[in-house]
Amino acid sequence: MTNTPPNTLLDWLQEGRLLMSDGAMGTMLQQAGLTDGGAPEIWNVKQPEAVRAIYQGYLDAGSNIISTNTFGGTSSRLKLHQVQDRVAELNEAGVRLAVEVAHPVGALVAASIGPTGELIVPLGPLTVEEATAIFAEQAAALAAGGADFILIETMSDMREVEAAVKGAQTTGLPVVVTLTFDTNFHTMMGISPKQAVETLSSWGVFLIGANCGNGPGEIEAVMTEMAQYRPAGVYLMAQSNAGMPQYSAGHIHYDGTPEVMAAYAQTMRNLGVNVIGGCCGTTPIHLRAMRAALDAVADETISGPPVASAEGSAIETDESRAARRDERRAARRQRTTA
């Protein structure tokens, strides 16, 4: 008989706690000296103090959850740097560094899993079974490091998401999923927020949301729809980029100020989002402003999302998109036969 790991995250959510996650890992690693093209996960063993300092910075800013430096830790991604044989070592090290600083202060460690970088059949060469095995290998190392739950993030293809969920579930750890809705409020593969929250919940995922994307305005529309259609027992997570990237003086900067991210945090709270954090461009400075903004309204009533209405939504319905797709196909057939 196997022991089921404790699900502190779900306990906290069921208690009604509003949680703040962290910000960008890549942004902070680049500030610490990581050059473009290098594998961030290698820093877990070559520059552990730098990685630990990033984790600590987010904890000091008020985060209840920190994500590990393991986003590209699948063998398929590590293969780009010829270190695909170090999946266990690099992922476990990234988690252990986070556990060392998070657990003593009562924070949780989210073990980050990103896309494989490969397309799933029929669009690419990778089968769902192969992808599941790749994710399971990484997830096993993350669990061995002592993670509290697994965070599958920045996804766009539900076939890859399903493979990641199945692979992560082999560990027995809680599984959380966030997708990126950066293509007209849909994922690159055409998944709507409504479709995502309904499908993922049917797979046993209890915390679902959005990350990355085109900034707070986009994620507000996405999380509004998720809040309107989430099934009972499902909680929501939002991690927006700090605005849009701007290239200046040889560096990429994000235009989302701490004040912008503070306002975003309050907007997410009022929609009923349960876990609020940031993604690309979000630093501990942003998180401190977000923490202060959330604390300032802690006693105020959460209004929740507006009533769902096709007329009042910025997001086209799945039915409308399907109808337009069918019209385009019919038009192409007519041109072909003409």
Q: What are the strands of the beta sheet with 175-179, ordered from one edge? A: 19-20, 275-278, 235-240, 207-212, 175-179, 149-155, 108-113, 65-67
Question: Is 2 inside a domain boundary?
Answer: no
Question: Is 288 inside a domain boundary?
Answer: yes
Token readout for 245 is 């990237």
Token readout for 42 is 């290698």
Question: Is 105 inside a domain boundary?
Answer: yes
Q: pTM higher than 0.85 for the full model?
A: yes
Burial (CB < 10 A; 0-12, 13-18, 19+), residue 281, is buried
3-state SS of the chain is CCCCCCCHHHHHHHCCCCEECCCCCHHHHHHHCCCCCCCHHHHHHHCHHHHHHHHHHHHHCCCCEEECCCCCCCHHHHHHHCCHHHHHHHHHHHHHHHHHHHHHHCCEEEEEECCCCCCECCCCCECHHHHHHHHHHHHHHHHHCCCCEEEEEEECCHHHHHHHHHHHHCCCCCEEEEECCCECCECCCCCCHHHHHHHHHHCCCCEEEEEECCCHHHHHHHHHHHHHHCCCCCEEEEEECCCCEEEECCEEEECCCHHHHHHHHHHHHHHCCCEEEECCCCCHHHHHHHHHHHHHCCCCCCCCCCCCCCCCCCCCCHHHHHHHHHHHHHHHHHHHHC
**Average pLDDT value over all residues in the chain:** 93
Question: Is 86 inside a domain boundary?
Answer: yes
Question: Is 3 inside a domain boundary?
Answer: no
Q: Is the dihedral of CA 96, 52, 56, 22 positive or negative?
A: negative
91-118 pLDDT, tens digit per residue, is 999 999 999 999 999 999 999 999 999 9
Q: Which amino acid is at 124?
A: G
pLDDT of residue 251: 73
pLDDT of residue 337: 64
Structural domain range at position 217: 8-337
268-282 pLDDT, tens digit per residue, is 999 999 999 999 999
Token pair 């041109």: residue: 335
pLDDT of residue 312: 65
Question: Is 1 inside a domain boundary?
Answer: no
For residues 293-312, average pLDDT? 90
pLDDT of residue 139: 98
Question: Is 257 inside a domain boundary?
Answer: yes
CATH number at residue 88: 3.20.20.330
* Structural domain count, the chain: 1
pLDDT of residue 336: 65
Question: Is 291 inside a domain boundary?
Answer: yes
pLDDT band at 320 (very low <50, low <70, confident <90, very high): confident
